[in-house]
Structure 1
Amino acid sequence: MSANDYMGEAEIRAILQRQRAAALADGPSSAERRGELIDRAIDLLASNEQALIAALSADFGQRSPTFSRHSDVLSPLATLKQTRAELADWMQPERRQTPRGEAWVEYQPLGVVGIVTAWNVPGNMVFKGLAGALAAGNRVMIKPSEFNPNTSALMARMIRSAYTEEEVAVVTGPAEVGQAFCSQPFDHLIFTGAASIGRHVLRAAAENLVPVTLELGGKSPAIVSRSADLKTAAAKIVVGKTLNAGQLCVAPDYVFVPEESMDAFIAIARAVLAGFLPTLADNPDYTAIINERHYQRLQGYLAEARQAGVTLVELNPAGETFDAASRKIAPTLLRDPADGLQVMQDEIFGPLLPIKPYRDFDEVIAYINARPCPLGLYWFGNDAVEERRVLDRTCSGGVTLNDVMQHAGLENLPFGGVGHSGMGAYHGIDGFRTFSHAKAVYRAG
């Protein structure tokens, strides 16, 4: 497909105008109607599971089928089904106390919601965003990442087969199409991706005063307390870091370990990885890096660290060499890299894990607070006082205690960032409310 085959700004605007006109003509939709729209999405995922897994693998070059099934099919399916079950309750007016008369809040559809997704778990983001937007009674326009051409094209075909363009539309194409998409006067826009792009999205939305939800990632720290079971903590961190080869916005980005436990942590990490990924190069369950640009970016981090004298610990149980064309990188621990190195400045988004030793716990809190608020934070331990200090004295989008990333997968918790890691939240009832207008109503007594 040539650049001329993609939609221009006028065509994108025309879809939005048709969706808005349809919304005004039809009026607010019932719970039954919203549920029927969600049922279509459920059927799409259930009937296209293998096709989605194959498309994702084609886009990555090699992606774990097991991970794809869980992240891009089963997880959004669970979201859609829970949303379907609960949306009628969410739609009920919420009574508020008033000294006289009556007061309540009604949750009204915003109109047309724009969804812009990243490339790392595209099915997950498209269908979880769709769940909240449809539950709230909106029309939806979706712009998936151009880095997933096979998956994006498949999802566009899937959605066209189940929805009219006035209900849900997918706009595919390169970055210029994304720019045109984000410049539209949506009633709400949700963007998932890099902070550098998020700034442009926010500027574009500001021209039309479009409210925006941004999920931007960041450097999510893991903290291993002296009170933690070191083996359990190391195992969960390593497993979490290798999912999708670290290409997850909530992946642990670096880990604090008591200085006296550094060697033990590394030894456990070696053993754990060898247990569930005994080979890497030809192992279909170990995912490749999405494209050459990101592969070279990660290789650059390693080269800079190596030149700076950082000890690199490659977790490569079979001692394999990797064909550069495969874009696979062995999980690698970086022992106490200097803060000025790029691997400690940028969100890694790959299977590299810096390990920072600490002597006093106050150092850990101070280090985290001196940097932008991360999307996730992970603490391992059994010290209730220390746990409370972490929760009270740090700021992050969400926290998982004694594991990694789990808070992001729970539909009954809001998912989103704070500060540099984003703004706003969605998932579950919080997604319903994000994509609704909370209309205050008062009736005089």
Structure 2
Amino acid sequence: MNAPFKSDEDRMKALFRMQRGAFSFDSAPGVSARRMKLRDLVRAIRSRRGEIVKAVSADFGNRSADETLQAEIAVAIRSIEHTCRHLDRWASPTRIFNPGLPVPGRTYIRHEPKGVVGIVAPWNYPFHLAVLPAAQALAAGNRVMIKPSELSPHTSASLSKLFADVYGEDEVAVVTGDAEIGKAFSQLPFDHLFFTGSTRVGRLVAIEAAKNLTPVTLELGGKSPCVMMPDADPAAHAPLVAFGKFYSAGQTCIAPDYLLVPKGRAREFADAILAEARRSYPSHAANPAYTSIASDGHFERLTALVEEARDAGATVLETESPAEDSRKMPPTIVLDPPLDGALMREEIFGPVLPVIEYDGVDEAVSFITTRDHPLALYAFGRDAGAAERMVARTTSGGAMVNGTIVHLAIDDLPFGGVGPSGHGAYHGRRGFEEFSHQRSVLVLPQWPMLRKVITPPYGRRMRWLTDWMIGR
């Protein structure tokens, strides 16, 4: 699309009209064509991986290259390849057998594209959380428009080049712009809208989408709890908490947001977690493997959360003193934070872990269930069965026992929230279905007797059939 436009919004609307005009069920690509293009996309990602790593790091100020390769590029490629392997089976009509059907016929479900799908991607995993849902929407036969975060301009430019390598703008288009463009994007009458971001903004997106009766998938966040069961072992379990909490400096929607530990053991677990953080990220400020906080505003917010808790009497522990003139915040633990303070009300989204003691598993369960449903929940203990039973007494989008965050990388596990942490899910087959219309089809036999039974005037056969359906 080379025509000049007065504004980013004009261009966005023109792209939408072009995609809407280009879509029809006759023009939707077949499964083989979809798979071929997705494999071309994988090859394009591989060829551009150095560029993508540099772009993401530029947006953060510094992003660990290993984390970008793992969580952005490798996870996206693995997911697309998984989709390609299974796409024939997922896209095939699903035969439905219903021996209780009172009318003879053949029943099945067609998996059809919805049309034009909008994807709003966040800044924390700006590549993965744009490419993965886009690939699943494309696998379902849709056309896709992507609105990346305005806080990740370098990655947005890289995404535009990447998709242009494989798709025309009538198939995939990347729309850039500020928050106002983001708002206008969510107001377009998409056939499906996929949003990843905060609960606050997710509510606003859902309101705008509702005006067009656009179905939405909301991947939000919340305060994901981590529970050390009474038999948990600091030496064995603290390193896994540190991994999940300080990966990408805590800027992960499923990072542990607070830690519940048995009464009297807060300092023991805190020391073990910080020891692992020091081992993993020595000299955090000068360490290229430790990720920066993505923006000045976010850094200032995190600093204010910690200082508010400190002023209220909480004990603050850090791996080392914060560096001046740097957005690298050291791994930090806050012991006994005020429960009514901002640190325990807001999703943290940074390398700060509040630690709270509980007196008995029932109290820990109550602490979790009286708060909003989180996106993830983690439980640790030598007795994995007891930890699983604790998980079963709570609600969250996903959960792990004796581990953190890596459930995101399991292709066949649906990923999504519940209540304030989100609506809908994706990954694997669940993602293909999220972007597909499940169309029910019944094919009746052309029997003259069947027409006499089911159409007026009703007679003895219809009364017999009705009595049979009602039963005694």
Q: TM-score when scaled to structure 2?
A: 0.90
User: Which residue of 132, 136, 140 corresponds with 1:136?
Assistant: 140
Residue 123 of structure 1 and its aligned partner are, at CA, apart by: 0.8
Q: Say yes or no: does 1:42 pair with 2:46.
A: no
User: Which letter maps to 1:198?
Assistant: G
Question: Displacement of 1:261 after TM fit?
Answer: 2.2
Distance 1:6 1:120, change over 3 A: farther
Within a 5 Å distance, the mapping from 1:203-214 to structure 2 comes to: 203-214=207-218
Cα distance in 1, alignment partners of residues 111 and 258 from structure 2? 40
Q: How far apart in 1 are the matches of 2:385 and 2:160?
A: 50
SS at match of 2:350: coil
Residue deviations 1:348-369 (CA, integer Å, cap 9, x gap): 0000000011121111110111
Q: Which moved more, 1:137-146 or 1:14-23?
A: 14-23
Give yes or no for contact 2:322–2:329 (8 Å, CA) kept in 1.
no
Instruction: Provide the identity percentage.
Output: 41
Q: Deviations over 1:74-116 (max 9, x none)?
A: 1101111111111111011111122332111110000111000
- Helix, strand or coil: the match of 2:231? coil
Q: How does 1:117-136 map to 2 (within 5 A)?
A: 117-136=121-140
Residue aligning to 1:154 = 158
Distance 1:218 1:25 in 2: 38
- Kindly indicate whether the alpha-carbon contact (under 8 Å) linking 1:95 and 1:104 is maintained by their aligned counterparts in 2: yes
In the other structure, the counterpart of 2:91 is 91
* CA distance, structure 1, for counterparts of residue 412 and residue 8 of structure 2: 37
The corresponding residue for 1:190 is 194
Tell me if structure 2 keeps the 8 A contact 1:329–1:351.
Answer: yes
Q: CA deviation at 1:381?
A: 1.6
Shift of 1:385: 5.5
Query: 1:225 matched to which residue of 2?
Result: 229
Structure 2 equivalent of residue 397 of structure 1:
397
Structure 1 residue 383 displacement after superposition:
3.3
- Cα deviation per residue 1:283-333 (whole Å; 9 max; x = unaligned)? 0011110001101000100110111110001122xxx54023x21111110
Q: For residue 323 of structure 2, what is the aligned residue in structure 1?
A: 322
Write the distance in 1 (CA, Å) between the matches of 2:53 and 2:385. 44
Q: How does 1:7-406 map to 2 (within 5 A)?
A: 7-8=8-9, 10-24=10-24, 26-98=26-98, 99=101, 100-316=104-320, 320-324=321-325, 326-383=326-383, 386-406=386-406
SS in 2 for 1:260: coil
The residue type paired with residue 167 of structure 1 is: E
Structure 2 distance, partners of 1:235, 1:179, is: 40
1:188–1:210: 8 Å Cα contact kept in structure 2? yes
| 1:18-67 Cα deviation digits (max 9, x unpaired) | 21222217433211111122122212210111111111111111111110
Conservation of the 8 A alpha-carbon contact between 1:37 and 1:134: no
CA pair 283-388 structure 1, distance change in 2 beyond 3 A: closer
1:6, 1:172 within 8 Å by CA — same for their partners in 2?
Answer: no
Return 258-267 or 420-429, whichever deviates more: 258-267
State how far apart, in whole Å, the 1-side matches of 2:434 and 2:372 are.
Answer: 24
Residue identity opposite 1:174 in structure 2: D
Do the aligned residues in 2 keep the contact of 1:223 with 1:257 (CA within 8 Å)? yes
Q: Which amino acid aligns with 2:282?
A: P
Moved more, 262-271 or 395-404: 262-271
The residue type equivalent to 1:443 in the other structure is V
Partners of 1:131 and 1:327 in 2: CA distance: 33
Other-structure match for 2:454: none
The answer to whether the 8 Å contact 2:379/2:391 transfers is: no
Shift of 1:160: 2.2
8 Å Cα contact 1:6-1:177 kept in structure 2: no
For 2:278 and 2:129, locate their aligned partners in 1 and report how far apart those are by CA, in whole Å.
31
Unaligned runs of 5+ in 2: 446-472
Aligned to 1:420: 420
Mapped partners of 1:351, 1:384: distance in 2: 27
- Decide whether the 8 Å contact of 1:115 with 1:190 is kept in 2: yes
CA distance in 1, matches of 2:363, 2:146: 43
Offset of residue 11 of structure 1: 3.1
Contact 1:108/1:439 (<8 A) preserved: yes
CA distance in 2, matches of 1:423, 1:270: 35
* Aligned amino acid, residue 153 of structure 2: P
- How many angstroms does 1:277 deviate by? 1.3
Preserved CA contact (<8 Å) 2:260 2:357: yes
- Secondary structure in 2 matching 1:125: helix
- Partner Cα separation in structure 1 for residue 187 and residue 357 of structure 2: 45
User: What CA deviation, in whole Å up to 9, does each residue of 1:223-251 have, x standing for no partner?
Assistant: 11112333221110011111000000000
SS of the counterpart of 2:8? Answer: coil
Q: Between Structure 1 and Structure 2, how many residues are aligned? A: 437
What is the RMSD of the two structures over their aligned residues, measured on CA atoms? 1.5
* Offset of residue 406 of structure 1: 2.0
Give, in whole Å, the separation in 1 of the partners of 2:390 and 2:357: 17
Partner residue, 1:432: 432
Structure with higher Rg: it is: 2
Question: CA separation in 1, counterparts of 2:70 and 2:7?
Answer: 31
